[in-house]
Amino acid sequence: MKTAALHRTAAGPNWGPSWGRLLRALLMLTLCAIGMMGAARSADATFKDEELDQMLAPIALYPDSLLSQILMASTYPSDVKEAAAWSKAHPDEKGDAAVKQIETKPWEPSVQSLVAFPQVLAMMDANPGDVQRLGDAFLADPAHLMDRVQFMRKKAQEAGNLKANEQQKVTTQTENNKQVIIIEPTQPQTVYVPVYQPTVVYGSWWYPTYPPYYWAPPPYYYPGGAFVAGVVWGAAIVGIHNSLWGGYNWGHHSVDINVNRYNNINVSNRHITNNNNSFKHNPERRKDVPYRDAKSREQYGNKAQAAGGKDRDAFKGKDGQRDADRARAADTLKDRGADPVAGREKLQGADRDKAHQAVNKVDRGGADSRPTQRDTSASNRAANRGSSGGSNSHSGALSGVHDSGASRANASRGQASRGSMSQHSGGGGRPAGGGGRAGGGGGRHR
């Protein structure tokens, strides 16, 4: 027996089948938890290259200035929707003239600038999900997104479909020891907005499981357009002097702003200076659209909530606006001969005088408080109605209180009346004839 026990101890504990099942269950739970954490991290991570290329396909070959303003505007999906609605209602408005018409709108300047290009807003409005993803990607990692733009331009150039022509100027430059492809309008004041067939213009697509997005051209702005080498050109947008104020510093991965053009077109919103000419996202204009990744939520989310609270306070009048409106209204009435404040004070003063006079009468009594014959009669009638439960005259009751002599006289007459009624009815409360009604000291005496 002792040998067998020692053998079991040396071989290790005998866990049995139940312990094995428990260990397997714990292992499965651990693996599931790790999988869920990985899925959460994946959902919260920045976009993959195949996703970026997919969403950039329709616009990567736009002129630098227009592309930069589209990326900035895409971070404000609600403003884009409102601007697209305005543009749809004014389809023939374009260029700087259109931007000047909406300068009082509360939209971000990058969104306002796009009304100069109604076909761009029309395509963005038709693909709101793509636009929001584009804005999320730009906020999450602008440098990486800009690198993917250059990657796609190189692909199109290698395929022979990105060349200089009458619509655009294409050059290659070196910035910060890196070669980049620059696209600009051939004529600065005339801009063409191309539409691409991505699977043609970029060559064979390199991510078959992530096919490229395609923004179909609105027929109104591309009537009878035909694709040539994967590109169709719309009508020229002329009169562009200041509407294109965006641009890139490709070597330093920043979106820069042409200060002079910006300030010339954004007359009522000149907050850009030569020392502050890089794009900075404004979370107050994000409204209720959530941020996709943790970095953006941490960087902009609290500011957006604070802006929402500020808007709610303003709606409730906590910013003093309602008080200012009331003051202006009062001034207007005063100018017209009506002073509501003075009127209220006058009425309040009159009420106070009446109250003081009433109190003084009660306190003084004597000759000053003697009522006239008419007041005494009214007091008698009120007292009689009160004893039978029928009075509702506030002034009559107050007169009775003021004239103590009249009150005692009324009480004496009431007692005499009750005594007389008792004698005639044998002590009962009802007259012998039974036809009259007797209250407890209540009949009317003449």
Q: Region 434-438: what's the mean pLDDT?
A: 42
**Mean pLDDT computed over every residue of the chain:** 75
Interatomic CA distance for residues 248 and 261, integer angstroms: 15
pLDDT of 389 > 90? The answer is no
What local confidence, expressed as pLDDT, does residue 268 receive?
74
Interatomic CA distance for residues 3 and 172, integer angstroms: 87
Task: Give me the torsion for CA of 396, 398, 400, 403, rounded to 10°.
Answer: -130
Quote the percentage of the chain above a pLDDT of 90.
51
Q: Region 391-400: what's the mean pLDDT?
A: 38
What local confidence, expressed as pLDDT, does residue 46 receive?
78
pLDDT of 191 > 90? The answer is yes
246-269 pLDDT tens trace: 999 999 999 999 999 999 998 877
Interatomic CA distance for residues 318 and 296, integer angstroms: 30
What local confidence, expressed as pLDDT, does residue 284 receive?
92
* pLDDT band, very low/low/confident/very high, at 224 (cuts 50, 70, 90): confident
DSSP collapsed to 3 states, the chain: CHHHHHHHHHHCCCCHHHHHHHHHHHHHHHHHHHHHHHHHHHHHCCCCHHHHHHHHCCCCCCCHHHHHHHHHHCCCHHHHHHHHHHHHHCCCCCHHHHHHHCCCCCCCHHHHHHHHCHHHHHHHHHCHHHHHHHHHHHHHCHHHHHHHHHHHHHHHHHCCCCCCCCCEEEEEEEECCEEEEEEEECECCEECCEEECHHHHCCCCCCCCCCCCCCCCCCCCCCCCCCECCEEECCCEECCCCCCCEEEEHHHCEEEECHHHHHHHCCCCCCCECCECECCCCHHHCCCCCCCCHHHHHHHHHHHHHHHHHHHHHHHCCCCHHHHHHHHHHHHHHHCCCCHHHHHHHHHHHHHHHHHHHHHHHHHCHHHHCCCHHHHHHHHHHHHHHHCCCCCCHHHHHHHHHCHHHHHHHHHHHHHHHHHHHHHHCCCCCCCCCCCCCCCCCCCCC
Interatomic CA distance for residues 348 and 145, integer angstroms: 70
What local confidence, expressed as pLDDT, does residue 416 receive?
47
What local confidence, expressed as pLDDT, does residue 423 receive?
47
What local confidence, expressed as pLDDT, does residue 373 receive?
46
Instruction: At 343, list the tokens.
Output: 């009127």
Interatomic CA distance for residues 252 and 279, integer angstroms: 13
What local confidence, expressed as pLDDT, does residue 209 receive?
96
Contact present, 85 and 54 (Cβ < 8 Å): no
Q: Give the chain's largest Cα–Cα span.
A: 132
pLDDT of 277 > 60? The answer is yes
Q: Distance between the two ends of the chain, CA-based, in angstroms?
A: 129
pLDDT of 151 > 50? The answer is yes
Number of other residues whose CB lies within 10 A of the CB of residue 432:
11
Contact present, 115 and 99 (Cβ < 8 Å): yes
Place of tokens 């009878």: 224
What local confidence, expressed as pLDDT, does residue 266 receive?
87
Return all residues near 65 (Cβ < 8 A) that are at least 6 apart: 184, 244, 245, 246, 247
* pLDDT band, very low/low/confident/very high, at 361 (cuts 50, 70, 90): low
What local confidence, expressed as pLDDT, does residue 30 receive?
63
Contact present, 237 and 116 (Cβ < 8 Å): yes
Q: Region 315-324: what's the mean pLDDT?
A: 45
What local confidence, expressed as pLDDT, does residue 109 receive?
94
What local confidence, expressed as pLDDT, does residue 101 receive?
96
23-58 pLDDT tens trace: 677 767 666 555 554 444 444 567 999 999 999 999
Q: Which amino acid would we find at residue 422?
A: S
Angstrom CA distances, 354 to 261, 346, 399, stand at 71, 13, 15
Query: From the centroid of its chain, how far is CA 412?
Result: 76
* pLDDT band, very low/low/confident/very high, at 185 (cuts 50, 70, 90): very high
Q: Region 98-106: what's the mean pLDDT?
A: 95
Q: Region 380-395: what's the mean pLDDT?
A: 44
Torsion sign across C-alpha atoms 306, 307, 313, 319? positive
The number of residues making up the chain comes to 446
Q: Region 184-189: what's the mean pLDDT?
A: 95
Contact present, 75 and 138 (Cβ < 8 Å): yes
